[in-house]
Amino acid sequence: MSTAAETLNRFRGSFVALITPFTPEDGGKSVDEAAFKKLVDWQIEQGTHGLVPCGTTGESPTLSHEEHDRLVALCVEAAAGRVPVMAGTGSNSTAEAVRLTEHAAKAGADATLVVTPYYNKPTQAGLYDHFRAVADASDLPLFIYNIPGRSIIDMSVETMARLAEIPNIVGVKDATADLTRASLQRGAIGADFIQLSGEDGTALGFMAHGGHGCISVTANVAPGLSSAFQTACLEGRYGDALSIQDTLMPLHTALFCESSPGPVKYAAELLGLCSAQARLPLTDIAPASKEAVRNALTQSGLL
């Protein structure tokens, strides 16, 4: 088993919350595997430090179990060990999260990202038991995904500290947008607990509070800048990081002008990466949103 230092060194920097390309010809009924593999290669070439398939940005709620399994395996295959793959394996069903995690381990993923169970609204005790059961399903490093805005529940610092005592629960994707959390969790758990921001716009402050990286939506279309930003933060070059933040901020804002991943998939289409096709209940973004995304890409020097 890897040491805490080795794990920390491997899971830091700019991780991309990968979009899932769908084929527009059939209205998004099929995954565009060729486009997905090209995205993985391009991300690695541009300096992205890690890949996160089958998360919310990858439209995991509308993926079939077969598609979910296939995308994780395809990402591992395409990455070919060049960067770590952190597979999204969360669900509001503990049994389903366990199954997805077991598959990710068999497919060769390097870690799993497990979201707090949405809709059910478990108590803190329920959250603890859920994550303990998933962690027991494999030896893979497990990252808690705390995103109250989508799941409606918020894991407390105390519950996270209890879960961090389980050896393979190694970190968190924190999408609370509460910058005090990084310091509070650092104080309760320690500096080796890997804290990854789940909010592009506040990642600079998060890193200054002791964060280790970001699982980024913006990195889908600006991987080079996102990687350079994270590297600058990790090296303590916050002046350089602020300059990159200023460049990327219009994009961070525009990519959430509607429910993600609608705007970022449109941005990817403008850059010729893949189709903007999403799956219902997500639809084509509005004309005003398209203009905002196009303008942000231009302001950031990407278009």
- In DSSP terms, which residues pair with 216 in a beta bridge? 16
Residues with a known catalytic role: 145, 173
C-beta of residue 258 within 8 angstroms of C-beta of residue 289: yes
The b/e string for 54-85 (b: 16+ C-beta within 10 A; e otherwise) is: bbbbbbbeebeeebbbbbbbbbbebbeeebbb
- In DSSP terms, which residues pair with 158 in a beta bridge? none
- In DSSP terms, which residues pair with 214 in a beta bridge? 14, 197
- d(CA 161, CA 157) in angstroms, rounded, equals 6
What type of residue is 238?
Y
